[in-house]
Structure 1
Amino acid sequence: MIESIAHIRKSDGIIQTVEQHLLEVMRLAEKIGSKLGIPHVTGLAGLLHDVGKYTQEFAEYIKQAVLDPDNPPQGRKVDHSTAGGKLLFHMYHQRAMQSPSAQFFNLLAEIVGNAVISHHSYLKDYYPPEPEKGFLHRVSVKEIKNFELTVEMFFEKVMSKPKFEQYVLQAVKELEQFIKSDNNQPYANIMFLTKYVFSALIEADRHNSRAFEEKISIEEQLSQGEHVQAKFRRYYDKLTAYLQQLELKQGESEQIYFLRKQLSEQCDIFALKQSEVYTLSIPTGGGKTLASLRYGLKHALEYGKEHIICIVPYTNIIEQNAAEVRNILKEHEAVLEHHCNVLLEDESEDGDEMEDGIMSASQKAKLAMENWDAPIIFTTMVQFLNVNYSKGTKNIRRLHQLAKSVIIFDEAQKVPVHCVSLFNRAVNFLNQACDSTIVLCTATQPALDSVKHPLIMQDKNEMVDKLQEVADAFKRVELVPQIDHELTTEELADKVHEQLEQVDSVLVILNTKAVVKKLYNSLKESIDEETCVYHLSTSMCARHRRSMLRIIRGKLKAKKKIVCVSTQLIEAGVNISFQTVIRSLAGLDSIAQAAGRCNRHGEHRSRYVYLIRHKEEKLDKLKEIKIGAQITERIIKEIDQDVKVYGGSLDSQEAMELYFKQFYQDMNKELDYEIKSSGHSIVNLLLDMGNSNPYYKAFMDRAEKGTPPPLMLTHNHLTAAERFHVIPDLTTSVLVPYGKGKEIITMLNGNQKIADLSKLLKQAQQYSINIYKQELSSLIQQQGIVSLLDGKVLALKDNMYSKQYGLALDGEGEMEFLGW
Structure 2
Amino acid sequence: MLPKQYLSPSLYAISELVVNYKVTAVLCSATQPRITNYIYKDLPLKEIIENPLELAQKLKRVRYQNIGGKSNEEIISLLLQHESGLLIVNSRRHAYTLQQELKSRFDNQAVNLFCLSTLIPPIERSKKISAIKEKLQNGERVYVISTQLIEAGVDIDFPIVFRCISGIDSIIQAGGRANREGKHSLGCVYVFESTSESGKTPRSLGNTAKIAKEVIDNLGDRAFELEGIEKYFDILYSSSSENGFLDEKNILDEFELEAKKLNFKTVSDKFKIIDDNSSNIIIPLDEEAKTLVAQLRENTFNRMTIRKLSHYSVSVYSGEFLKLQKENVIENINGSYVLNNLHYYKNDTGLEVFSGENLNAESMFL
Verify: 1:474 aligned to 2:59, yes or no: yes
Which of 345, 351, 355 in structure 2 is aligned with 1:807?
351
Q: Distance in 2 between matches of 1:517 and 1:738?
A: 20
**CA separation of 1:455/1:525 partners in 2, compared to 1, >3 Å: closer, same or farther?**
farther
- Structure 1's 587 and 794: CA in aligned 2 closer, same or farther, altered over 3 A? same
Which amino acid in 2 is paired with 1:508?
L
Instruction: Give 1:654's match in structure 2, choosing from 227, 234, 240.
Output: 227
Whole-Å separation in 1 of the counterparts to 2:275 and 2:282: 21
Q: 1:629 to 1:455 in 2, by over 3 A?
A: farther
Aligned counterparts of 1:560 and 1:662: Cα–Cα separation in 2: 42
CA distance in 2 between counterparts of 1:455 and 1:771 reads: 43
Q: Distance in 2 between matches of 1:767 and 1:436?
A: 39
1:552–1:747 Cα change, 3 Å = same
TM-score (norm 1): 0.40
Question: Given residue 582 of structure 1, which amino acid in structure 2 is its aligned partner?
Answer: F
Whether 1:736 and 2:275 are equivalent positions in the alignment is no
Evaluate the alpha carbon distance shift between residue 466 and residue 743 of structure 1 in structure 2; reply closer, same or farther with a 3 A threshold: farther
Contact residue 61 and residue 186 of structure 2 kept, 8 A = yes
The one-letter amino acid of 1:561's match is: R
- Render the CA deviation track for 1:699-741: whole Å, top value 9, x for unaligned: xxxxxxxxxxxxx543555555555532346223333223443
Q: CA deviation at 1:807?
A: 2.1
Which whole-Å CA distance do the structure 1 matches of 2:298 and 2:22 have between them? Answer: 43
Equivalent-residue separation in structure 1 for 2:16 and 2:297 (angstroms): 42
User: Does 2:46 align with 1:460?
Assistant: yes
Matches within 5 A, 1:564-643: 564-616=144-196, 617-619=199-201, 621-622=203-204, 625-640=205-220
**Offset of 1:556 from its aligned partner?**
0.6
Q: Is the 2:67–2:190 contact (alpha carbons within 8 Å) kept by the matching residues of 1?
A: yes
Change (3 A) 1:552 1:420: same
Kept after mapping to 2: 8 A contact 1:531/1:560: no
Match of 1:48 in 2: none
* 8 Å contact kept, 1:544–1:738: no
SS of structure 2 residue aligned to 1:440: coil
- Report the residue type matching 1:682 in the other structure: I
Output the CA distance in 1 between the equivalents of 2:352 and 2:11: 38
Deviation at 1:454, TM superposition (A): 6.0
- Aligned equivalents of 2:124 and 2:21: distance in 1? 38
2:331 aligns to what? 786
SS in 1 for 2:331: strand
Q: How does 1:427-576 map to 2 (within 5 A)?
A: 427-429=14-16, 431=18, 437-451=24-38, 458-462=44-48, 464-483=49-68, 486-497=69-80, 499-500=81-82, 504-527=83-106, 529-576=109-156
The AA in structure 2 aligned to 1:796 is: L
Deviation at 1:541, TM superposition (A): 1.7
Q: Could you say if the C-alpha distance between residues 458 and 540 of structure 1 is closer, same or farther in structure 2, counting changes exceeding 3 Å?
A: farther
- Hey, what does 1:687 align to over in structure 2? 255
SS at structure 2 position matched to 1:421 = helix
Q: Secondary structure at the match of 1:649?
A: helix
**Structure 2: any 5+ residue segments left out of the alignment?**
357-366
Q: TM-score under structure 2 normalisation?
A: 0.85
Choose 1 or 2 for highest CA Rg. 1
Q: Secondary structure at the match of 2:45?
A: coil
Q: Secondary structure at the match of 2:182?
A: coil
* Higher relative helix content: 1
Residues in 2 aligned to 1:456 and 1:758: alpha-carbon distance in whole angstroms: 47
Question: Counterparts of 2:101 and 2:215 in 1: how far apart (Å)?
Answer: 32
> Judging changes above 3 Å, is the alpha-carbon distance between structure 1 residues 449 and 515 closer, same or farther for their aligned structure 2 residues?
same
Cα deviation code 1:375-409 (max 9, x no counterpart): xxxxxxxxxxxxxxxxxxxxxxxxxxxxxxxxxxx
Seen in structure 2, the aligned counterparts of structure 1 residues 620 and 586 have a Cα distance that, compared at 3 Å, is: closer
1:175-197 CA deviation, whole Å, 9 max, x = no partner? xxxxxxxxxxxxxxxxxxxxxxx
Alignment partner, residue 749 of structure 1: 297
The one of 672, 678, 687 aligned to 2:247: 672
Task: Confirm or deny: 8 A CA contact 1:553 1:576 kept in the other structure.
Answer: yes
Secondary structure of 1:539's counterpart equals coil
The structure-2 alpha-carbon separation of the partners of 1:590 and 1:457, relative to structure 1 and needing over 3 Å to count, comes to farther
Task: Tell me how far 1:550 sits from its aligned partner.
Answer: 0.7
Asked whether the 8 Å contact 1:507–1:578 carries over to 2, the reply is yes
Against the structure 1 CA distance between its residues 449 and 636, is the aligned structure 2 distance closer, same or farther, given a 3 Å change threshold?
Answer: same
Q: Judging by fraction of residues, say which structure has more strand.
A: 2
CA distance in 1 between counterparts of 2:45 and 2:208 reads 28
Sort the Cα spacing of 1:780 and 1:661 in 2 relative to 1 into closer, same or farther, 3 A: same
Q: Distance in 1 between matches of 2:351 and 2:89?
A: 19
Query: In the alignment, is the contact (CA less than 8 A) between 1:422 and 1:683 conserved in 2?
Result: yes
**From 285, 309, 315, the counterpart of 1:770:** 315
Within 5 Å, give how 1:47-86 maps onto structure 2: none
- Deviation per residue, 1:515-562 (Å, 9 max, x gap): 111011000011362431110111122212111101111111111111
**CA 1:552–1:620 in 2, change beyond 3 Å: closer, same or farther?**
closer
Tell me which residue corresponds to 1:815. none
Q: Following superposition of structure 1 onto structure 2, how do residues 255-294 of structure 1 map, counting pairs within 5 Å?
A: none
User: Residue type matched to 2:78 in 1?
Assistant: K
Residue 465 of structure 1 and its aligned partner are, at CA, apart by: 4.2
- Give 1:511's aligned amino acid: N
How far apart are the structure 2 equivalents of 1:745 and 1:456?
A: 56
Q: Gapped runs of 5+ residues in structure 1?
A: 1-412, 641-647, 675-680, 691-711, 813-820
Secondary structure in 2 aligned to 1:521?
Answer: helix
* C-alpha RMSD of matched pairs (Å): 2.8
Q: Is the 8 A contact 1:479 1:610 kept in 2?
A: yes
Shift of 1:470: 2.2
Counterpart-to-counterpart distance in 2, 1:733 and 1:430? 35
User: Matched residues in 2 for 1:434 and 1:735: separation?
Assistant: 43
- Hey, what's the Cα distance between the residues in 1 that align with 2:174 and 2:201? 19
Q: Is the 8 A contact 2:255 2:261 kept in 1?
A: no
Tell me the alpha carbon deviations over residues 68-113 of structure 1, each in whole angstroms, 9 at most, x when there is no partner: xxxxxxxxxxxxxxxxxxxxxxxxxxxxxxxxxxxxxxxxxxxxxx
Which structure ranks higher in relative contact order (CA pairs < 8 Å, sequence separation ≥ 6)? Answer: 2
Q: For the residues of structure 1 that align with 2:329 and 2:41, how far apart are their CA atoms?
A: 45
Range moving further from structure 2, 436-445 or 583-592: 436-445
